[in-house]
């Protein structure tokens, strides 16, 4: 059993501990997935797979950040999602990839063959539940983005994004920003100039402190009020 667990921390990186996973009934699923997975590393801005490329596998982020983007016919880029440690991507069963996947920073991922995963799903209920939870998480992220793009002002979009990033940290007052301002704009549907203007305005109001790759939330309550306006 201990030999079986040696690779599991790769799958758990950034997530719950092994005892927590064991209590949730997912340890068997992680061990089974580890057996069919391949560990891969990508450098900053390196392509993991291209839009329109054939499928056949899905991925889980072990460390770093991945962006999923689509290039429109007019040359504009839309970023659909940022995937962080513990997130799965490429889970759709389409014959062609709907989005490109690229490393925002140096990343490590696990790649799983879809066919082997399908067989595991049929044989192992824990694997089926784990993949279902990942798919539901992706759906929830897509719904949040639709709400951001459909109803929020530029300031509300940036604030909601910062709050979401900070919620991923143990320190809720800190938001890591591994992506550039242009990436943030393409994700939120606003220009890079607007992103910079909103961040500068929030800094002047004393609610955030801005660093090149991180934001400190000085007044979370004020930010939450702005995000809910």
pLDDT score for 19:
44
Are residues 89 and 190 both part of a single domain? no
pLDDT band at residue 10, thresholds of 50, 70 and 90?
very low
Boundary of a domain, candidates 95, 117, 145:
145
The SS3 assignment for 30 reads helix
Q: What is the number of structural domains in the chain?
A: 2
Are residues 120 and 214 both part of a single domain? no
Are residues 174 and 140 both part of a single domain? no
Boundary of a domain, candidates 105, 129, 145:
145
pLDDT score for 12:
42
Are residues 119 and 177 both part of a single domain? no
The SS3 assignment for 195 reads helix
What CA–CA distance (Å, rounded) separates 50 from 63? 20
Angle between helices 154-166 and 181-188 (to 10 degrees): 110
Are residues 129 and 218 both part of a single domain? no
What CA–CA distance (Å, rounded) separates 175 from 173? 7
pLDDT in tens, 137-188: 878 877 777 777 777 899 999 999 999 899 887 777 889 999 999 999 999 9
pLDDT in tens, 100-142: 999 999 999 999 998 888 888 888 888 888 888 888 887 887 7
Are residues 115 and 168 both part of a single domain? no
Boundary of a domain, candidates 87, 110, 145:
145
Q: In terms of residue numbers, what domain contains 45? A: 2-145
Tokens of 129: 């539940």
Are residues 124 and 197 both part of a single domain? no
Average pLDDT in the chain: 84
CATH of the domain at 134: 2.60.120.10
The more confidently predicted of residues 7 and 163 is: 163
What CA–CA distance (Å, rounded) separates 8 from 19? 12
Are residues 119 and 205 both part of a single domain? no
CATH of the domain at 172: 1.10.10.10
Asked if residue 56 lies in contact with residue 90, where contact means CB atoms within 8 angstroms, the answer is no
Asked if residue 65 lies in contact with residue 105, where contact means CB atoms within 8 angstroms, the answer is yes
- Whether 23 shows a pLDDT value over 50: the answer reads no
Angle between helices 114-123 and 125-151 (to 10 degrees): 120
pLDDT score for 7:
44
Name the percent of the chain lying above pLDDT 90.
47
- How far the first Cα of the chain sits from its last, in Å, is 52
Closest listed residue to residue 63, CA positions, set 4, 121, 107, 19? 107
pLDDT score for 229:
59
Are residues 122 and 30 both part of a single domain? yes
């Amino acid at each position: 059993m201990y030999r079986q667990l040696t690779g599991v921390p790769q799958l758990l990186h950034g997530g719950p501990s092994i005892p927590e996973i064991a209590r949730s009934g997912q340890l068997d699923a992680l061990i089974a997935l580890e057996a069919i997975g391949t560990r891969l590393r990508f450098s900053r801005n390196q392509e993991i797979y291209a839009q329109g490329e054939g499928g056949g596998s899905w991925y889980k982020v072990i460390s770093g950040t991945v962006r999923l983007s689509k290039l429109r016919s007019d040359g504009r880029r839309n970023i659909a999602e940022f995937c962080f440690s513990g997130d799965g991507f490429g889970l759709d069963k389409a014959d062609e990839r709907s989005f490109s996947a690229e490393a925002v920073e140096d990343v490590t991922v696990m790649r799983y063959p879809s066919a082997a995963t399908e067989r595991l799903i049929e044989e192992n209920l824990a694997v089926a539940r784990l993949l279902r939870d990942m798919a539901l998480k992706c759906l929830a992220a897509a719904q949040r983005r639709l709400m951001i793009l459909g109803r929020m002002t530029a300031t509300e979009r940036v604030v909601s994004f910062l709050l979401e990033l900070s919620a991923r940290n143990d320190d809720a007052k800190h938001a890591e920003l591994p992506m550039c301002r242009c990436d943030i704009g393409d994700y939120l549907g606003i220009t890079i100039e607007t992103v910079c203007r909103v961040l500068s305005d929030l800094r002047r109001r004393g609610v955030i402190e801005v660093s090149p790759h991180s934001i400190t939330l000085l007044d979370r309550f004020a930010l939450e009020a702005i995000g809910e306006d």
